[in-house]
Amino acid sequence: MFNGCNVGLEIGERAIACRISEKCSAQAPIEIASTINVMEFTSCNLDDEDLGQTNQDQITNFGINYPEVNDDFNAGDKFSAEIEFTNNYNPGEPTEYTAEAFIVNIVDYSEITSKSEAIAADYLEDIELTISNISIPQSLNSSEYELNIKVYETGSEDVLCISKGVMIEINEFEEPETFLPEAEEEGLPVQQDSQQEGSQGSQNQFNQPQDSNIRSDYNEQNSSGKALIIIVIIGAVLLLAIVAYIIIRGRMKRGRGLEVPKFNDKDPLEGMNSRKYILTPANENKIKDYIRTSKSNGVNDKEIKNSLLSAGWSEEDINKFL
């Protein structure tokens, strides 16, 4: 038995050979050739003492937050795995890490599918990482599988690596059911057997009127539905027109709601401007209240000014308070 044979880092089919030297036997040298399939390791190692980790003290608090043990998935689904860890490696500069997720057959530990993500972590940084879009093949049978996740220094997996696994349930893929529309009436045509050819002609004559009746009912229902949609649209347009009319009327009324103060013959400024009233404190409050109320109702300055001018207020006073 030969122990500790190094298969190298190349993934795929590899050739191996066992040779019996002439020095060890009286007969001629013998060579036995075979092939092996080299797969990527879904965990960091399989040592009895440090299962799944290499220099584990450099990556701490490593855990799988999702999925949890025995979570259910369906073949053909996609899901994301969420992990966390703390980088205790290489003080002074970021470390490039690769996180890989593998779905593994627990019978022979062969890899079914995998997905990886890369991330840079500063010294003592707490990392939360999501490995997205892990695809479950549709061909999987309903069974228990293992999700292995390993985190390692990119390009130096043999130096720094840690891994864990969680068992998940995968259900067999089921084709979605298709449903044919059900007939509203009994007596639809029944598919005839090849042995009933003699009566097929008369049976078809019986079925044809029923087929036309069904199509006629469908067309009537379709026309009724379209008419209902048109009525709803017309009603909505009329309702919008009524609302717009009410809003416009309200704004026009607000413009006429402010009375012009009565002319005071004793106004000392009458000959100096076009104003025909005295701007007393009471009148100031009126115009201020009107402007404030109009703005709170969404009326713009131009509309407010036009309404006040129409009511007889002077542009000078309007500009003063507007």
Q: Which of 64, 254, 310, 239 is nearest to 167 (CA)?
A: 64
CA angle (293 as vertex; 291, 294 as ends), nearest 5:
65
| One-letter amino acid for residue 54 of the chain | T
CB 85 within 8 A of CB 162: yes
| C-alpha distances in Å from residue 275, one per residue of 137, 145, 269 | 87, 92, 8
Q: What is the pLDDT of residue 20?
A: 64
Buried/exposed 51-61: b ≥16 CB within 10 Å, e otherwise: ebbbbbebbee
Scan for tokens 């003492």, then name that residue. 49
Q: What is the pLDDT of residue 177?
A: 73
Q: Is the dihedral of CA 154, 155, 161, 164 positive or negative?
A: positive
- Number of Cα atoms under 13 Å in the Cβ half of residue 24: 5
Could you give all domains of the chain from N- to C-terminal order, each with its CATH number?
53-171 (2.60.40.2550), 251-321 (no CATH)
CB 118 within 8 A of CB 145: no
Start-end of H helices in the chain: 197-256, 281-296, 301-311, 315-321
Q: What is the pLDDT of residue 283?
A: 85
CB 87 within 8 A of CB 79: no
Q: What is the pLDDT of residue 77?
A: 93
Give the Cα separation of 137 and 146 in Å (integer): 14
pLDDT tens track, the chain, 322 positions: 555 666 665 667 777 776 666 565 556 666 777 777 666 667 776 554 555 566 767 888 899 999 999 999 999 999 999 999 999 888 888 999 999 999 999 888 789 999 999 999 998 899 999 999 999 998 998 999 999 899 989 988 878 888 889 999 999 988 877 655 555 444 445 454 444 444 455 444 444 445 555 556 666 677 788 888 999 999 999 999 999 888 877 665 554 455 544 444 333 333 334 456 777 888 889 888 999 999 999 899 999 999 888 888 888 888 988 8
| C-alpha distances in Å from residue 35, one per residue of 2, 10, 15 | 16, 14, 4
Q: Which of 172, 214, 167, 221 is nearest to 189 (CA)?
A: 214
- Say which residues have a Cβ less than 8 Å from residue 76's Cβ, sequence separation at least 6: 136, 137, 138, 173
Q: What is the pLDDT of residue 186?
A: 47
Give the Cα separation of 209 and 187 in Å (integer): 11
Length of the chain: 322
CB 83 within 8 A of CB 151: yes
CB 149 within 8 A of CB 101: yes
- Number of Cα atoms under 13 Å in the Cβ half of residue 144: 7
- Say which residues have a Cβ less than 8 Å from residue 93's Cβ, sequence separation at least 6: 123
Q: Which of 65, 41, 39 is nearest to 53 (CA)?
A: 41
| Strand 161-171 with 71-74, pairing | parallel
CB 150 within 8 A of CB 131: no
